[in-house]
């Protein structure tokens, strides 16, 4: 299955605050807020939603096509991704701007305060999908994840025009887009991904009910945090999948990207939605157990052992022929 993953490619600057943000907030003074937090450490990591998803897919043995815009400072990052089976030939390199930056501080409750510098990502709107499809012999699915809003709109419109199935995953960009833009992103999607808050915001901004959204998309996938994930399709019963247990909680950054990577990998293997969600949930557990979004390592044997422990030996037997982790 030829999957093109569009979206942000960025460098993550991750900091840890040992206290709680809420201890520094005065509710009736929020309109005058001016705070700084003394952090304990700084990790500079590779990130960006599309890159995180593509990396995870590569770790499971697929060859995803990464589509996005970066700066001249991308050379080392490109080599890293290519070593993990990611096709970067369709990444646009800006002559003027740096690769995007994500700056995030996480407190002891795993609450986060973050900012994002778009940089070269603004040029993603100049990328056309048709030449990419021609280069790789066709596209079976386009993932439209959070990116420059104009790029997201262009990609979804081109998918509808050219008949490319697409997965709409606007994420945090929903907060900044108006209802008309969100309707354009959602309409006709084969899959629509969001968390519970984003799902409610989508309905509020578009003016569509949950039922009306299901009239316009194939399958709606809603992540529920520690409660797992739910799949909804028109005239079909909902499917609920529990989270895979994690060994420890280190950093939640990129958790959703890991889930999407595992889901897409299993989808590429031709597995059913329930199994796709299970693979995604286990990969998400690996992400939360490490500092950074691409720092986990998958071992074939251990991955399947954990999968069997979480979802049973029959589920593991179904996944085992497909998993191709780089380590034994």
pLDDT tens digits for 66-125? 999 999 999 999 999 999 999 999 999 999 999 999 888 989 888 888 888 899 999 999
Supply the pLDDT for residue 203: 96
Residues 6+ apart with CB under 8 A from 328: 299, 300, 301
Confidence class for position 32, pLDDT limits 50, 70, 90: confident
Active-site residue numbers?
A: 257
The whole model's pTM is what? 0.90
b/e map 122-133, b = 16+ CB within 10 Å = bbbbebebeebb
Alpha helices in the chain (DSSP H): 49-59, 75-83, 130-136, 149-162, 179-186, 196-206, 210-214, 255-268, 273-288, 300-311, 313-319
Give the containing element (helix H, strand E) for 46: strand 41-47
Please give the Cα distance from 151 to 250 (Å, whole number). Answer: 33
Q: Residue 290: CB partners within 8 Å, gap ≥ 6? A: 250, 251, 296
- What share of the chain has pLDDT > 90, as a percent? 80
Question: What pLDDT, in 10s, does the model give residues 166-195?
Answer: 999 999 899 889 999 999 999 999 999 999
CA-to-CA distance for 67 and 85, rounded, in angstroms?
Answer: 14
- Average of pLDDT values for 229-233? 96
pLDDT higher at 202 or 22: 202
Choice among 10-19, 151-160, 189-198, 215-224 with the minimum mean pLDDT: 10-19
Are 181 and 153 in contact, with CB atoms under 8 Å apart?
A: yes
């Amino acid at each position: 299955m030829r999957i093109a993953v569009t979206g942000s490619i960025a460098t993550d600057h991750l900091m840890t605050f040992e206290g709680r943000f809420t201890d520094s907030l005065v509710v009736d003074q929020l309109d005058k807020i001016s705070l700084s937090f003394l952090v304990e450490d700084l990790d500079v990591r590779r990130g960006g939603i599309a890159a995180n998803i593509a990396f995870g897919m590569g770790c499971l043995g697929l060859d995803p096509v990464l589509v996005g815009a970066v700066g001249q400072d991308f050379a080392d990052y490109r080599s890293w991704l290519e070593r993990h089976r990611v096709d970067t030939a369709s990444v646009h390199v800006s002559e003027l701007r740096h690769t995007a930056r994500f700056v995030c501080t996480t407190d002891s409750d795993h609450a986060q305060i973050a900012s994002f510098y778009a940089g070269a990502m603004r040029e993603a709107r100049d990328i056309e999908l048709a030449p990419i499809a021609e280069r790789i012999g066709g596209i079976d699915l386009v993932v439209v994840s959070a990116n420059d809003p104009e790029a997201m709109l262009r990609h979804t419109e081109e998918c509808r025009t050219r008949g490319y199935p697409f997965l709409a995953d606007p994420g945090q960009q929903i907060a900044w887009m108006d209802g008309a833009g969100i309707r354009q992103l959602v309409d006709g999607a084969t899959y629509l991904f969001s968390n519970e808050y984003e799902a409610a915001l989508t309905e509020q901004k578009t003016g569509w009910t949950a039922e009306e959204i299901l009239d316009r998309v194939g399958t709606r996938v809603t992540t529920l945090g520690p409660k797992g994930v739910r799949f909804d399709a028109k005239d079909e019963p909902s499917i609920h999948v529990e989270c895979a247990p994690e060994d420890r909680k280190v950093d939640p950054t990129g958790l959703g990207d890991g889930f999407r990577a595992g889901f897409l990998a299993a989808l590429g293997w031709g597995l059913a939605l329930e199994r796709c969600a299970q693979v995604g949930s286990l990969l998400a557990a690996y992400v939360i157990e490490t500092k950074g979004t691409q720092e986990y390592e998958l071992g074939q044997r251990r991955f399947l052992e954990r999968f069997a422990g979480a979802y049973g030996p029959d589920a593991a037997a179904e996944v085992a022929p497909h998993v191709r982790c780089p380590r034994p």
